[in-house]
């Protein structure tokens, strides 16, 4: 009987030791410094809608800065945001475009993409007071002047008015009535 009691105590001690060791090992792995996320994994790529920023100079709209961005972010940190990420990024893009005098497209023909990406990334991280966005990728950047927008609108109207008479002519040739199906 003493052998059974000693065996039971030995099994309990071995089990408790194994459980204690497994919790220690699991705690050590999660307490280790997080590995730096790379472009090879661990980050989410989130695409924004087209962000349209009207450029106002001399109290009138001169054109529109259009951008579609992709930002890389740790998904755990993204879930902690209380503000929608798209709203935050749109606000930072507006702030960057209006606060950067180098983005005067009437004087500067090209955009410094590296400075633009860094400015947006740093602006977001400064706003949330931590390293949220790892990188900003540019999918599309355009600048359209007011005249280009008007020209495109006129072209669309012409295309629509050219298509409407063509369908009206087809209706007129059939007498304006739908032909009854032949039985």
What Rg, from alpha-carbon coordinates, does the chain have?
31
Let me know: does 63 contact 146? Beta carbons within 8 Å. yes
Let me know: does 133 contact 124? Beta carbons within 8 Å. yes
Q: Give the per-residue pLDDT at 8.
A: 84
Q: Give the C-alpha separation, 138 to 114, whole Å.
A: 10
pTM of the model: 0.60
- Who contacts 104 (Cβ-Cβ below 8 Å, separation ≥6)? 57
Q: Which DSSP state fits 39?
A: T
Q: Output the six-digit token pair for 58.
A: 């001399």
- Tracing tokens 């740790």 back to the chain, one arrives at 74
Q: Output the six-digit token pair for 40.
A: 């090879």
Q: Give the per-residue pLDDT at 31.
A: 43
- Tracing tokens 């099994």 back to the chain, one arrives at 11
Helix (H) / strand (E) element for 56: namely: strand 51-57
Q: Give the per-residue pLDDT at 69.
A: 92
- Residue segments in the chain with a per-residue pLDDT below the cut of 70: 27-41, 106, 108, 153, 163-183
Q: What is the pLDDT of residues 45-63, one digit of tens each?
A: 888 899 988 888 788 888 8
Half-sphere exposure of 46 (CA within 13 A, CB side): 20
Q: What is the pLDDT of residues 21-45, one digit of tens each?
A: 777 777 655 444 444 555 456 788 8
């Amino acid at each position: 009987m003493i052998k059974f009691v000693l065996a039971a105590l030995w099994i309990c001690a071995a089990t408790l030791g194994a459980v204690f060791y497994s919790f220690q090992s699991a705690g050590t792995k999660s307490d280790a410094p997080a590995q730096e996320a790379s472009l090879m994994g661990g980050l989410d790529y989130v695409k924004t809608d087209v962000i349209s920023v009207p450029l106002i100079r001399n109290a009138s709209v001169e054109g529109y800065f259009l951008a579609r961005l992709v930002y890389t972010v740790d998904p755990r940190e993204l879930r902690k945001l209380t503000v929608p990420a798209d709203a935050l990024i749109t606000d930072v893009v507006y702030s960057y475009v209006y606060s950067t005098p180098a983005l005067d497209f009437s004087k500067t023909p090209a955009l410094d993409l590296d400075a633009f990406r860094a400015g947006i990334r740093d602006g977001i991280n400064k706003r949330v007071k931590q390293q949220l966005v790892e990188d900003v990728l540019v999918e599309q950047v355009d600048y359209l002047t007011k005249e280009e927008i008007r020209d495109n609108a006129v072209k669309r109207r012409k295309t629509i008015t050219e298509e409407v008479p063509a369908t009206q002519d087809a209706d007129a040739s059939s007498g304006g009535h739908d032909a009854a199906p032949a039985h």
